[in-house]
Structure 1
């Protein structure tokens, strides 16, 4: 393709006229300098007659000097005007550049530098989340909620609105104009552990979306206070359903199998589809949340570890008693199989309705794994240790199959435990299609590498 011709340079009319007059002046001056005032004496043919003689040389010199002075003055004025125009253009460009850079710096400033009034109302966050198909790992691009809105929505973080509590945080139910609801996780104090978990959850949950992982909607930084805003899960935690006042009465056999399938799907996404893989490190019934249809979602990524960071060391022993894999507890070895062990403990809770650790005789405690293992492999005893709420409500073949999966997941040796993908496929036939028992689940959004 040929190069398009360069458009001619156009000057303003005032500058153009001055330049034209300057060129004419130069031409006249050059002509006057080259043509002699009088022709050579030897050539008399063109000598003018006395009747047509021009003014005297003195008079001509005065006229020429006056004309030169007049043109010189106009040239100086033209140069001054042109210089002023160029200077004005330069100053305008500099001012525009400064204004653009200041605007960019204001829009991209660190959200932690903002305080009250620096965030967005929750309604705008919900609309922004609904219109966004992907998220990023940087909290600078994750919606920031203003603190007064959260304080108002939780009735100043009233105890009556507490949904649950963890080691360093409390979770409150939040009401926004009586319509939109959310769960607000408020970290206690400004301890380094709180800040680390806060940053970890933002980094991981801010970049992934999956039907079986709780959605992070926004965050807030208010002085020393750190808050996270999640989607509200109407049926609370699996722990509250199993071990709370209802004692699992709302959880039928098929719903329990659906919950186990949902947890397996969430873990498979973290282990197999995230790059690099993510180890949750704190799978337990209190971190499994249930929505209004008892769809299960994995929550609380404060202790989660990215697989590639394991080789860097500095991974402190963390977890919850009863769910921690023995190799991690004794030797500090952490792998995806550690999550599989914790999943096996949750599966035992679903089967038997017992807590992971129970007191048998003070101060002795017995884990559910130690208590159940001798009976899980005995088909004659197995039906008797099932949660009374679901006893005799399932096909015994399915019960034996689930028990076999649980036994494999809680093996002492990590290499004997199955991959979470294998666990997932073993549960699919046990769940009715209308409850999600199919090979295809809702398509998750792929995380960005970090």
Structure 2
């Protein structure tokens, strides 16, 4: 409801005032025998609020609403009953229906709005209280069965309570008017976001538009004026203990105060000035471009006082410099120098310990996590340094320690207020301003430069002669290693069709260096045990992803040649296409088609992005993975077992269609079960016979698919499970709910929809069939396809899955400690000795 909606015509109020003298106000109650008819009204006992019929400015439609009583000037409408179903004339009526509900009827007796209470009751009475709350009471004891405060429109009043549950996703929301003359549901909504430390959010068509910053126990720290406004300080946010947070006002009810979400996306504070006898406006957010959510993208900071308003944080550079220079900042920034933790995880050389850069007077990023058991700033800093995924922290003496992981979104520089945010940087970035270190760097640069010039002079005359020889050796090396890889990946005799595998084309190193801007860090898409993956664009405009084998990696060479032999000739819409490779000297690279939406886990386990995967998209992804797996097991020339099927290895194209990737540990099978002494894969997705005995077959991939299917339906990770849910893993939790007949609790709240409930439950049933402990009990992929498409209607009951029993306390403690040390587990290959 914009400010224009507050200018409801004075004539309307005069009309209602005159009407009450003719028709008489019906006290503060509505009953079956005492309805209100247009233009009648009821007034609260203390004459503070009035409920009746009104028409918005520039409209002839009639609505039932609540507004302040006994104010001489135009007053905003605070609540609307039939906001989506207006009355065309003045024949409307609000009354109690036969089933006890409060309803709004038109002249033909049609129900345009109802309180819609489903529990049976009688002897109902509706009352307008002095808080502005319309309540419905039933029975001889007057039990409260419904209230307008639980279904607000665009206005928050002092006695309202906003609630949000982090587990169920249920929220109390304000929803804006569509325009100042149309009170139907508009584009903006607002309420509490309970994820991490709770914040007050405004959404535009479901997407974040503005946020208040986290709650510090007294205020939302992203609203500087909240510390000085007598009105804004009057809030309380309570943790109800079951994942529910409730925001309520602790202000004096004598204030005539309202917070309004306008139709043009402004959240305003409006209060009645008794002295001036006018409505005043104390707050309006967002007030600048920098208040818009994520204006400068990840690791970008917005300052409304600067031009341009967006800048990368210290130690970061624009991810796409061309877009950034044009004022397109949404892709944000990336690190210039990797952190020490990244070096430890990737097996590269480890430098000095990371440190922190303090940024003063900042609006801190979204989705802060509270760090318990940290009683000082030093402890807060130390806890963040211990956790490799921690990229920033804040210590606030009246609250404690906040920490952030992943991308830092929606950072803003304030001219006043704000907090001191500490950003994690590599040691070299922190000392870059030190003059003494600069002298050392300059001296070393001169020495290294002189040596480099000498080496260039010494070897330049040899380059032309050796260039042809090196190319010939590289081609021979590729041919030899391809044959070697074919013998390694095939467990049995080498078939003729494998001997004929050739990889084309061979890309020149110079072409790939040009395409990736010499493998610039801003082009980096990800990191694995093999090395890094970079985005690039070929001269013809084709976008590619280049997997570059790290020279310092202890793994990857065998996987590189394995992938060459396995998928060079595989063609399927649900498999990532290998375009070619590059082998020059020590450089070994694979070139793939580029997937713009990255991997499935980037959506599935991201609280902001998972909403983009509705059930239809998730079911399409499940079917696509199953079709790709069917091709590998049955329809391709070579029968292939993937051995590492998981969300991070499912890539999504621009239309969110799935493509199976990463065949570095895949094996070509003759169709029978195979034994191996080298168990590779990812914990949580390996079948029991493979993990414990080194035996793998097509049913091993079926087990991984079952885990993946349960993760897609539930939106939860199998390996990172809540310890208070009495299950070792997602599999165990699903099995527990299945036996209890409460499988609804497993479905991700982001996709919960009764229309698709049967299809979701069927997928959970199929997932449990796939993770059964014995391989012989699991269905083949061709059977799974028929089950998904309901070609097989009656599914057999699942038997007990693997890994459902919780380990002993000693084992559990060991697992917990392991997870704490290795806080990021995105390495794709585990290497174990089979027993």
Output the TM-score relative to the length of structure 2: 0.34
Matched, 1:279 2:625: no
Output aligned runs, 1:122-133, within 5 Å.
Answer: none
Aligned partners of 1:238 and 1:323: how far apart in 2? 15
- Report the counterpart of residue 522 of structure 2 in structure 1: 160
- Report the counterpart of residue 358 of structure 1 in structure 2: 720
Matched, 1:417 2:784: no
SS at match of 2:535: strand
Q: 1:260 to 1:426 in 2, by over 3 A?
A: same
SS at match of 2:706: helix
Deviation of 1:313 after TM superposition, in Å, equals 5.5
Deviation of 1:421 after TM superposition, in Å, equals 0.6
Output aligned runs, 1:226-241, within 5 Å.
Answer: 226-241=588-603
- Report the counterpart of residue 214 of structure 1 in structure 2: 576
Deviation of 1:178 after TM superposition, in Å, equals 8.3
Q: 1:249 to 1:312 in 2, by over 3 A?
A: closer
Output aligned runs, 1:14-163, within 5 Å.
Answer: 111-112=474-475, 140-163=502-525
Matched, 1:408 2:769: yes
SS at match of 1:397: helix
Asked if 1 retains the 8 angstrom alpha-carbon contact of 2:600 and 2:652, the reply is yes
- Report the counterpart of residue 169 of structure 1 in structure 2: 531
SS at match of 1:322: coil
Asked if 2 retains the 8 angstrom alpha-carbon contact of 1:252 and 1:390, the reply is yes
- How many corresponding residue pairs? 304
Deviation of 1:298 after TM superposition, in Å, equals 0.6
- Report the counterpart of residue 62 of structure 1 in structure 2: none
SS at match of 1:281: coil
Aligned partners of 2:787 and 2:609: how far apart in 1? 27
- Report the counterpart of residue 399 of structure 1 in structure 2: 760
Which of 179, 183, 187 aligns to 2:541? It is: 179
Which of 284, 291, 303 aligns to 2:665? It is: 303
- Report the counterpart of residue 624 of structure 2 in structure 1: 262
Deviation of 1:276 after TM superposition, in Å, equals 4.3
SS at match of 2:612: coil
Post-superposition Cα deviations, 1:153-189, rounded to whole Å, max 9, x if no partner, equal 2122222222222222221111234832011111112
Question: Which aligned runs of 4 or more in structure 1 are off by greater than 6 angstroms?
Answer: 309-312
Deviation of 1:378 after TM superposition, in Å, equals 4.3
Q: Which moved more, 1:352-361 or 1:225-234?
A: 352-361
Asked if 1 retains the 8 angstrom alpha-carbon contact of 2:529 and 2:553, the reply is no
Asked if 2 retains the 8 angstrom alpha-carbon contact of 1:270 and 1:278, the reply is yes
SS at match of 2:511: helix
Deviation of 1:263 after TM superposition, in Å, equals 0.6
Post-superposition Cα deviations, 1:416-449, rounded to whole Å, max 9, x if no partner, equal 111011111222359xxxxxxxxxxxxxxxxxxx
Deviation of 1:254 after TM superposition, in Å, equals 0.9
Asked if 1 retains the 8 angstrom alpha-carbon contact of 2:675 and 2:696, the reply is no
SS at match of 2:758: helix
- Report the counterpart of residue 289 of structure 1 in structure 2: 651
Asked if 1 retains the 8 angstrom alpha-carbon contact of 2:574 and 2:624, the reply is yes
CA RMSD between the two structures: 3.0
Aligned partners of 1:189 and 1:351: how far apart in 2? 39
Q: 1:259 to 1:359 in 2, by over 3 A?
A: closer
Asked if 2 retains the 8 angstrom alpha-carbon contact of 1:358 and 1:366, the reply is no
Deviation of 1:109 after TM superposition, in Å, equals 5.8
Deviation of 1:212 after TM superposition, in Å, equals 0.9
SS at match of 2:681: coil
Aligned partners of 2:777 and 2:674: how far apart in 1? 26
Flag structure 1 segments of 5+ consecutive residues without an equivalent.
1-105, 116-134, 431-450
Q: 1:109 to 1:310 in 2, by over 3 A?
A: farther
Deviation of 1:139 after TM superposition, in Å, equals 6.7
Q: 1:359 to 1:365 in 2, by over 3 A?
A: farther
Instruction: Point out the structure with max Rg over C-alpha.
Output: 1
Asked if 2 retains the 8 angstrom alpha-carbon contact of 1:233 and 1:290, the reply is yes
Using CA pairs under 8 Å that are at least 6 residues apart, name the structure with larger relative contact order, 1 or 2.
1
Q: Which moved more, 1:340-349 or 1:245-254?
A: 245-254
Asked if 2 retains the 8 angstrom alpha-carbon contact of 1:257 and 1:427, the reply is no
Output aligned runs, 1:240-259, within 5 Å.
Answer: 240-244=602-606, 246-259=608-621
Q: 1:276 to 1:228 in 2, by over 3 A?
A: closer
Post-superposition Cα deviations, 1:343-373, rounded to whole Å, max 9, x if no partner, equal 01110111110112115459x9942112222
Deviation of 1:227 after TM superposition, in Å, equals 0.6
Post-superposition Cα deviations, 1:206-263, rounded to whole Å, max 9, x if no partner, equal 1211111110001001222211010111211111111236341111101111111011
Aligned partners of 1:246 and 1:177: how far apart in 2? 35
Counting strand residues as a fraction of each chain, which structure ranks higher?
2
Aligned partners of 1:200 and 1:429: how far apart in 2? 37
Asked if 2 retains the 8 angstrom alpha-carbon contact of 1:190 and 1:224, the reply is no
Asked if 2 retains the 8 angstrom alpha-carbon contact of 1:376 and 1:407, the reply is no
Q: 1:112 to 1:356 in 2, by over 3 A?
A: farther
Asked if 2 retains the 8 angstrom alpha-carbon contact of 1:136 and 1:206, the reply is no
Post-superposition Cα deviations, 1:262-318, rounded to whole Å, max 9, x if no partner, equal 111111111112344211000011111111111111101000011139888555100
Aligned partners of 2:634 and 2:552: how far apart in 1? 35
Q: 1:309 to 1:336 in 2, by over 3 A?
A: closer
Deviation of 1:399 after TM superposition, in Å, equals 2.0
Q: 1:394 to 1:290 in 2, by over 3 A?
A: farther
Flag structure 2 segments of 5+ consecutive residues without an equivalent.
1-468, 479-496, 792-835
Counting helix residues as a fraction of each chain, which structure ranks higher?
1
Aligned partners of 1:137 and 1:175: how far apart in 2? 32
Deviation of 1:138 after TM superposition, in Å, equals 5.8
Asked if 1 retains the 8 angstrom alpha-carbon contact of 2:676 and 2:694, the reply is no
SS at match of 1:358: coil
Q: 1:365 to 1:195 in 2, by over 3 A?
A: farther
- Report the counterpart of residue 440 of structure 1 in structure 2: none
Output the TM-score relative to the length of structure 1: 0.62
- Report the counterpart of residue 317 of structure 1 in structure 2: 679
Asked if 2 retains the 8 angstrom alpha-carbon contact of 1:358 and 1:365, the reply is no
Asked if 2 retains the 8 angstrom alpha-carbon contact of 1:110 and 1:140, the reply is no
Deviation of 1:376 after TM superposition, in Å, equals 3.4
Q: 1:245 to 1:149 in 2, by over 3 A?
A: farther
Q: 1:404 to 1:279 in 2, by over 3 A?
A: same
Output aligned runs, 1:409-448, within 5 Å.
Answer: 409-429=770-790
Aligned partners of 1:307 and 1:225: how far apart in 2? 30
Post-superposition Cα deviations, 1:118-144, rounded to whole Å, max 9, x if no partner, equal xxxxxxxxxxxxxxxxx9876755101
